[in-house]
Structure 1
Amino acid sequence: MDWFYAIVYGIVEGITEFLPISSTGHLILTGNLMGVPWSKEVKDTFEVVIQGGAILAVLAYYWKDFLQIRHIGRDKTQQNLWLGVVVACIPAVILGVLFGDTIKAYLFRPSVVAWALIVGGILMWLIESRRVTPNVDAIEKIGVRRSLMIGTLQCLALLWPGFSRSASSILGGMVLGLDRPTATKFSFYLGVPTLGGAALRDFIKNRDILAEIGVLNVLLGAAVSFVVAYLSIGWLLRFVSTNNFKPFAIYRVVVGVLILVLIAAGVLNNGNLA
């Protein structure tokens, strides 16, 4: 059944990684409801590594844009864009290095994720209801200062597991004046170094752990994640071009409440997941 679990995990990861609904929350539900028999170390490592497939989907979707980085030496626009991406990643890297283990030890549990989904959904609804007119309509116009602020707000996802990296970066961008498509695209770009680095690090560090379920199953999960994430990116960009995020806000609250109900019913263990 390992191949089946790998496919399901890949589908869930691919759908939820870039949507503002928390991949963490959905992977917790998926693993528990399926009764995946893998050890905790295998599940944790597998979930991080298959993020690599989702990141490759971003690179594939925006391959023409990413090729422009070869002109960075003489293109001021590219210099500002990628300086902004790098600067935006710094707060999360620092926070992760200093407090990552502590956060996992005390906060990485289903009830915390559930409340993060609910509170994040409420904030998303309020931000959309009190939306100001955006003044940034392209990621090249974001600037370093605003990028740093978005990166700092992105840390909310690290401090509060289940809040969603995509949600915090997209909502942060919208609050700071980015229109929805621009905030969404910049969130994709931020995921490349942050999630890509984490996936590569865990694969190199814990490849012996993954041997328990077989390298082919790991590659299968990453491949499914890649395909589904590629489709999800295109769908989300089309969606935000004509819609707001209120449907995601409602969905987050529903899933958060569902997790709390499953915990109360004894179906979902609220023990620490770290």
Structure 2
Amino acid sequence: MNYFEAIILAIIEGLTEFLPVSSTGHMAITSALMGIGKDNFVKLFEVAIQLGAILAVVVIYWKKFFNFSDWKFYLKLIIAVIPALVFGFLLNDFIDNTLGNPIFISAVLLIGGVILLLVDKWFKNATIDSEKEITNATALKIGFFQVLAIAFPGLSRSAATILGGMSQKLTKSAAAEFSFFLAVPTMCAATGYKLLKGYHLLNTENIKLLLVGNIVAFIVAIIAIKSFIGFLTKHGFKVFGWYRIALGIIILALFLSGYHIDIN
């Protein structure tokens, strides 16, 4: 991996981490198209640069994250992240294998796209417009929705948790914000686990690549987060649904035509 490739992947991470389109799937496909998908450090890089995107959430919502008197906020995040920690550990090998299957990724993109086309009609009677109104039980239910994104790589963690929130009567904006909040402990745990497993890959040059990647992902994620909630509130999920469907069809067509997307 060179610096140009690192920056490309970091831009994709920053743009897609908090959108319902699957950052993991996008980075896996992009690294494969650049011919670096098999490299073990690239796989570590794709997870580790999520720290930059996560830091963007902490910076934008710093008053929320550093209000230590609001212990209930931290408790909700702890409760919501537990299912992901358990199933993420149990399904780690399955995730690595399915990310190498273009048919699986395209199928999940297509199904997720269809769901996003319909979701605005499914959840119309939202009553919860603030994180403070979310109960511990609701936080746990949203946490189990996040497990769907772990079990089905390409679904999108953001999509799963936002839809989970909306299914529990959260407004689009409240569901999106809680999805952002939940990303912090979830992605920190995933990144820490990946770095622990791949620490032997961290030579001086690779550490520099990680620094560059995290900085780029941080900057791009700030722009994406600030734009996303307003867009989602105004336009809903249809744009993302059609995008997922188009991308899924393209990946499937390339594979069936004999163009092998070599991800693993």
TM-score (structure 2 length as normaliser)? 0.93
Deviation at 1:201, TM superposition (A): 3.0
2:55 is aligned to: 56
Counterpart AA for 2:42: K
Matched, 1:237 2:237: no
- State the Cα RMSD in Å: 1.8
1:44 aligns with 2:43: yes
Is the CA contact 1:81–1:143 (under 8 Å) kept in the aligned structure 2? Answer: no
- Partner in structure 2 of residue 194 of structure 1: 186
Q: 1:27 aligns to what?
A: 27
1:42–1:212 contact (8 Å) kept in structure 2 = no
Deviation sequence 1:11-30 (CA, Å, 0-9, x none): 00000111000012211221
Deviations, residues 158-217 of structure 1 (Å, cap 9, x unaligned): 111110100000011111110000000000011000101221332344233142853211
Q: Which amino acid aligns with 1:194?
A: T
Mapped partners of 1:25, 1:261: distance in 2: 16
Structure 1 unaligned runs (5+)? 72-77
Q: How big is the shift at 1:102?
A: 3.5
Distance 2:98 2:225 in 1: 33
Q: In the alignment, what sits opposite 1:122?
A: 114
Correspondence 1:177 to 2:176:
no
Distance 1:190 1:232 in 2: 17
- Within a 5 Å distance, the mapping from 1:194-213 to structure 2 comes to 194-211=186-203, 213=205
Alpha-carbon deviation of 1:105?
3.5
Q: Do the aligned residues in 1 keep the contact of 2:28 with 2:99 (CA within 8 Å)?
A: no
1:110 aligned to which of 102, 113, 117 = 102
Percent identity, aligned pairs only?
38
- TM-score scaled by structure 1? 0.90
CA-CA distance at 1:103 after TM superposition: 4.2
Task: From the superposition, tell whether residues 35 and 100 of structure 1 become closer, same or farther in structure 2 (CA, over 3 Å).
Answer: closer
Moved over 4 A (4+): none
CA drift of 1:121 comes to 1.1
Instruction: Say if 1:42 and 1:209, in contact at 8 Å, map to a contact too.
Output: yes
Q: How many residues align?
A: 264
